[in-house]
Structure formats: C-alpha cells, structure tokens
Amino acid sequence: MSAEIIDGKALAETIRARVADEAKKLGLKPGLAAVLVGDNPASQVYVRNKVKQTEEAGLLSFEHRLPDATPEADLLKLVEKLNADPSVHGILVQLPLPDHIDPDLVIRAIDPMKDVDGFHPLNVGRLGIGQDSLVPCTPQGCILLAKTVHTSLEGLDAVVLGRSNIVGKPVAQLLIQESATVTVAHSKTRDLDEVCARADLLVAAVGRAELVKRHWIKPGATVIDVGINRVAGSVPGKTKLVGDVAFADCSEVAGAITPVPGGVGPMTIACLLANTLKAACWAAGKPAPRF
Ligand code: NDP
C-alpha cells in the first residue's frame, strides 16, 4: 500500500485565502502583534514567516523586537500596552524567552481574548471543558489535516504520542471533542509500538527523529507527524529535516500520512491567522467563521 500524502501546504494556503476573504468582510483589519525577545535564530525565522504571512493575508502586523537583556518588567509593560491597543487583536510572544524571564508570567499577562497561541490558562481550561476558546495553533492544524482524510473523527481509535502542554495535551483534548477514543502515550508508556499499532489515527509529537517505525502503524491508518528534527543529510556537512515518523517505511503501511516538511508545519501559521481573525470577530461582536 502506498499512503495518500496529506498536503499541509495546500490546506494552509486554502485557510490563509479564507482568512483574507473573511477579514475583508469584517469591516476592520485584524491586527497581530508578534513580540520577539533576543536573537534565537530559529525564533527569528518563525517570526519573520509569521509577519510575512500575516501581511500577505491582508492583516495588520505589528512587530516588536526586543534585546536579549530586556527586563521581565519591560516585557510585561509591552504586553499590557498591546492588551489595551484596540488595533491589536492577537498577541504572540515567541517562545523560548531568555532565562531571566518567566514564560508563565508573560503568558498569564496576555489578555485571554487576544491570546492567539492559546497558551493562557483560561484558554487551556476552556478547551478542557469544551467551551469556545482560542485553541493552540499546531494542534488545531493536526485536526484539520486529519479531517481532510476523515469527514468525521467520531469513534476512531486515536493515539497521541507526546503529552506536552503545547502539542500533545491540546491535540488529545481536541480529539475528545471530536468524539475519538483517545490514548495519550509518552516516555513512560509500556509497549509503545503495540499501543501505536492500535491507532486508526496516530499523531506523533515527541521530537525524536523517525522514532515511529513501520510496524507501529496499523495498515490503512492516518498518521499526522508533528515532529521537526534536524539530522545529518546525505551530503557531508549538510542537514535535513525529518519528522518523528520514519516516513518512507511508514507510508507503505499507512492509509494517509503527512510529510515533513510540508505537513503540519505550514498549518501552524495558517491557524495563527485564523485565531487572529477569530479574536478580531470577538472584538467586533460578530460570530467567528469556523475552519
Ligand atoms: P516536548 O519535548 O515538550 O514533548 C515531547 C513529548 O514526547 C513528551 O511528552 C515526552 O514524554 C514524549 N517523548 C519523548 N521521547 C519519547 C520516547 N522515546 N517515547 C515516547 N514518548 C517520548 O516536545 P513538543 O511537544 O514541544 O514538540 C514535539 C515535536 O513537535 C518536536 O519535534 C517539535 O519540534 C515539534 N513541533 C512542531 C511544530 C510545528 O509547527 N510543526 C510546533 C511545535 C512543536 P514525557 O512527557 O514522558 O517526557
């Protein structure tokens, strides 16, 4: 069997186009403020891409780059200012922050109605009890990708590999809302291969290059690979990106699978824009479109 390759780039493009379209109808320009502290190279690339795609979707983008030595109090003041700014509907503070800044304190300072990363405890709690909330972007992307294969996830045996606050746990919450039967596996799970091999839908978010092997996949299963791992490439001195799933082998068994790159990755920013649109709709007192 050769799996269907789930095209995250194409789906992300469709979502961005819809965000652009809905934003035009809204009568106000959704605004996203991105705050970057320090000069972490990966964070710089992420923020640059977020700003570029925000502008391309016709949304307002506000970029705040602060030096690495920025005191925590100054960052909190900036967040307070953005909370009060009516032209800013979404606020994202790029993680990780320098060691002297407590990320939990900063996340809690963001107005939950503008918390487009969905990390504020209020949004985490609302997601847990099934209330409408700003949902973390990568998990939301995983569900939308799975839904390109299954019109409904109801009753599927879903295994989420990884239990982090930013990926594994929210993916599991969303799958419960979709009425899947959810198992969350992690580093202490026994017989991991057997647990995964029961999954109709496997979401891998462990950050371990190609951990998931062919025999971990139930024939015909849908596999969503969140992992982004940089490993040595075939050309000496060059690296390449691989996921948490051994793609070539597993795609011979799976029914559908996301590639890395080009699967979950592009969906994260698309969902960030969708969340910014949602926050702007709330600010305008209008219903937010569903994606
Ligand atoms: P974390 O390191 O926070 O969490 C990893 C999880 O995997 C933990 O729950 C850990 O278990 C579990 N785990 C680690 N090793 C094993 C193992 N050998 N067997 C079973 N479980 C294991 O990672 P994140 O959730 O933040 O990210 C996961 C991956 O997703 C990374 O590659 C990251 O780069 C990528 N990512 C991609 C995004 C995208 O946009 N595509 C966005 C965010 C993340 P335990 O809790 O027991 O320690």
Same domain, 68 and 153: no
- Active-site annotation holder among 111, 117, 225, 244: 117
Total number of domains constituting the chain: 2
**What's the predicted TM-score (pTM) here?**
0.97
- What is the Cα–Cα distance from 270 to 211, expressed in whole angstroms? 27
Residue 157 dihedral angles phi and psi, to the nearest 5°: -80, 110
* Pocket of ligand 1 contains residue 164 by CB under 6 Å: yes
Instruction: Convert the pLDDT of each residue in 129-166 to its tens digit.
Output: 999 999 999 999 999 999 999 999 999 999 999 999 99
Same domain, 94 and 160: no
Question: Which ligand 1 atom sits closest to the C-alpha of 163?
Answer: 9
Q: What is the DSSP string of 137-193?
A: HHHHHHHHHHTTT-S--TT-EEEEE---TTTHHHHHHHHHHTT-EEEEE-TT-SSHH
Q: Residue 167 corresponds to which amino acid?
A: V
Q: For residue 162, what are its two tokens? A: 């990884």
Name which residue sits closest to atom 1 of ligand 1, judged by CA.
164
Cα 162 to ligand 1 centre (Å): 5
Phi-psi region of 162 (alpha: psi -120 to 50; beta: other; left: phi over 0): left
Q: Is 94 annotated as catalytic?
A: yes
| Residue 1 reports pLDDT greater than 90 | no
Helix axes 137-146, 8-26, angle to 10 degrees: 110
Print the domain residue range for 59.
28-116
Give the domain CATH number at 59: 3.40.50.10860
Mean pLDDT of the chain: 97
Q: For residue 45, what are its two tokens? A: 């690339």
Same domain, 204 and 163: yes
Cα 124 to ligand 1 centre (Å): 18
* Pocket of ligand 1 contains residue 211 by CB under 6 Å: yes
Same domain, 145 and 244: yes
Q: Residue 243 corresponds to which amino acid?
A: G
Mutate to test the pocket of ligand 1, among 206, 229, 242 (most ligand atoms within 8 A of CB): 206
| Contact (CB, 8 A) for 100 and 72 | yes
Give residue 64's pLDDT band: very low, low, confident or very high (50, 70, 90).
very high
